Amino acid sequence: MPERGTALRRLGFLTIGLFDGDDPGPGHRSTLEIIEFGEQLGFDSAWLRHRHLQYGISSPVAVLAAASQRTSRIELGTAVTPLAWENPLRLAEDLATVDVLSGGRLNPGISVGPPMRWDDVKDALYPDTAEAEDLSYGRVERLLAFVAGEPASPFAGTEGIEEYSERVQPHSPGLRERLWYGGGSRTSAQWAGEHEMNFLTSSVVRAEGDADFATIQRSQVDTYRAARPAGRVSQGLVVIPTDTATPEQRAKYVAYVEARTPRTAAPQGPARMLFAPDLVGTSEEIADALYAHAGFQAVDEVAFALPFSFEHADYVQLLTDMATRLGPALGWTPTKA
């Protein structure tokens, strides 16, 4: 999207689905209602982010299975599933099942590497095999093979009254082409392209030879496209349109952004992770900022992240403004059922 006037092709949103630990039902139902509402507004996709051992959705695949029965058109994705928490064969079964239930709308996003707080969780997660677990790209390759229908067992046929398949069942044709890799470096961008995955780039990147977030993100998108020109790339910044917000909501949104802004000043930690500034303001102001953003200029679809810790009514307002004001300001047209 090199200049204003080039239409944004796909508009999506991302949420972590917060809930009360003592009463988790309402929070999960709120997430399902938000996904339904997004479809009604014409969004192209809804994405869930994992939160393990926290008060956010720990099993997006299960929630998306429920969402698949409450929607008919909107694409449903994970952004992203940290594969170190998963068995690739079992995850392949779950993903294929939900894809079948959704009619081919699932867009699984995954990543690799040790889980957050690995030293705290490894004994519970892999009590006997933590040191032997492959947490590299090889774990992704196993998942890709199983989803594609490559053999998971040397045996297929009938034994007694039981019938066995050599590949994961159900098999969902087309799912392999809708797998995404969530990356924040040029290495991961190139790997995703070379392995024919789509590429998710978010509001966090690894600082690689530059201190400007947009420039770094653009270099990663360019690296991916050099490896796979026809692949899909989606950008996931935090945007907070205030067009129809109440004064109280605007004050809360501005305070939220101000509290998070200091971490964007410089790379964080040994991995030198750099966070993008959140964008808050009217849809026209946000559109201007996006058109000037080098990373945004290189994509034609987005999955804007909803701010964490907000209320259901806030998400309704934000999604409404995104669909009716920000999206059109970016040249996007809602899709109706």
Distance CA 175, CA 327 (A): 27
For 16-125, where are the E strands, in sequence order?
45-48, 75-82, 106-111
Domain 10-145+179-329 sits in CATH at: 3.20.20.30
Q: Is 247 exposed, middle or buried (0-12, 13-18, 19+ CB in 10 A)?
A: exposed
Spatial contact of 208 and 247, defined as CB atoms under 8 Å apart: no
Give the pLDDT confidence score for residue 6 in this predicted structure.
79
> Which are the contacts of 90, defined by CB distance < 8 A and separation ≥ 6?
none
Strand, coil or helix: 77: strand
| Residue that has been written with the tokens 């709120």 in this structure | 30
Spatial contact of 78 and 50, defined as CB atoms under 8 Å apart: yes
φ, ψ of residue 298 to 5 degrees: the values are -100, 5
Amino acid, res. 36: E
Q: Report, in angstroms and rounded to the nearest whole number, the Rg of the chain calculated over CA atoms.
A: 20
φ, ψ of residue 48 to 5 degrees: the values are -115, 140
Distance CA 80, CA 199 (A): 11
Give the pLDDT confidence score for residue 314 in this predicted structure.
98
Distance CA 301, CA 60 (A): 22
The model's pTM is 0.96
The whole-number mean pLDDT for each consecutive block of 10 residues of the chain, a chain of 337 residues, reads 76 96 98 98 97 96 98 98 97 98 98 94 97 96 98 97 98 98 97 98 91 95 98 98 98 98 93 96 98 96 96 98 98 88
Q: Which residue from 50, 20, 56, 174 is spatially nearest to 105, judged by alpha carbons?
A: 174
Domain parsing of the chain, residue ranges: 10-145+179-329
Residues in the chain: 337
> Which are the contacts of 98, defined by CB distance < 8 A and separation ≥ 6?
61, 64, 65, 68, 76, 106
